[in-house]
Amino acid sequence: MPDLQIPADGLSHTALYTAWVRHVEASQPHPLFTDPLASHLVAELAGHPALDAFIAQMGITSSGFPSYHVVRTRFFDDRITAALDSGVRQVVTLAAGIDGRTTRLPCPPGTRWFELDLPGMTEFKTAVVASSGLTPACERIGVAADLAANWTKPLREAGFAFDQPTAWLVEGVLMYLTPAQGDALLAEVTALSAPGSHLLLEHLQVSMLDEQGARVREGLGKHGVVFTAARDDIGDWLGAAGWEASVHEGVDPAIGHGRSVAPVPAAWLAAATRAAGE
């Protein structure tokens, strides 16, 4: 992919790694999903030193990452599909990375999907989608913004309708924000959420900031990736903001579709709704 500028920061490389995991899943006998965009990207980046180095490091750090990422992907796939089936026609992915859901999930007519990330990743993602030849299943709108700054203004300027129910996807990001930034993000999402909205998010368990997560943190640190937040009160945290949440551990067999998930990384997966009248 010689004409594309691959973002050089470590967090962007985590997005490339996630795409690689999703590509590998397609080769399994009974995949939980397929991701043509991820497979296109991996083929184009074959032999790229940044991606190869990150894949190797993650293999050393924890062999559980692929199994967890696969179950996480399917969990959010199912919840987004349920939101769309319930009538939601506006989706926002925060820190979208190389997520290929706009090219692989069935979207009803009229669905608008905003994918927000840093400017470099937003430009890269748009170029990847264009070069893949895949047709998004809905209107895909890239929004360049920093979640640690004022991201709601660019989102509104891109056409986000705050009076319409929204499905929010917050995947692979809260652990890289400070606790204060995470609280602010939840408050901002809540303020923009009309009744009937859905909030789907992932967060680390507190044990990942202790001894259990030491090896993972050391490995990611070699790529400039640092966990800065974790919490074990996800249901109460969301409830205090007006969301009714169902929360699962990443290893919960109820969401595993028969897959065994390694206990590291230890994370929470939540699906919440904002009731009418909130």
Residue among 11, 8, 9 at smallest CA distance from 228: 11
- Is the CB of residue 47 less than 8 Å from the CB of residue 20? no
Q: Could you say which architecture CATH assigns to the domain 65-273?
A: 3-Layer(aba) Sandwich (3.40)
Name the DSSP letter for residue 44.
Answer: H
pLDDT at position 1, please?
45
Helical residues (DSSP H) of 62-205, grouped into ranges: 65-85, 101-104, 119-132, 152-157, 179-191
Name the DSSP letter for residue 135.
Answer: P
Distance, CA of 72 to CA of 20 (rounded, Å): 14
- Is the CB of residue 200 less than 8 Å from the CB of residue 169? yes
Residue 273: phi and psi, rounded to 5, are: -130, 150
Whether the CA torsion 75, 59, 117, 34 is positive or negative: it is negative
Distance, CA of 116 to CA of 95 (rounded, Å): 6
Each of the 278 residues of the chain gets a pLDDT tens digit; together they read 445 667 777 778 889 899 999 999 999 999 999 999 999 999 988 888 878 888 888 887 777 889 999 999 999 999 999 999 999 999 999 999 999 999 999 999 999 999 999 999 999 999 999 999 999 999 999 999 999 999 999 999 999 999 999 999 999 999 999 999 999 999 999 999 999 999 999 999 999 999 999 999 998 888 889 999 999 999 999 999 999 999 999 999 999 999 999 999 999 999 999 976 55
pLDDT at position 2, please?
45
DSSP, collapsed to helix, strand or coil, labels residue 83 as helix
Q: Give ∠ CA 116-67-119 in degrees, rounded to 5.
A: 15
DSSP, collapsed to helix, strand or coil, labels residue 230 as coil
pLDDT at position 50, please?
76
Residue 145: burial class (beta carbons within 10 Å; 0-12, 13-18, 19+) = buried
Dihedral, CA of residue 209, residue 215, residue 217 and residue 219, to nearest 10: 180
Name the DSSP letter for residue 252.
Answer: -
pLDDT at position 55, please?
86
Question: What region, left, alpha or beta, does residue 13 occupy, with left being phi > 0 and alpha being psi -120 to 50 degrees?
Answer: alpha
First to last CA, the chain: 47
Distance, CA of 224 to CA of 271 (rounded, Å): 30
Place of tokens 């559980």: 64
Name the DSSP letter for residue 2.
Answer: T
Distance, CA of 241 to CA of 82 (rounded, Å): 22
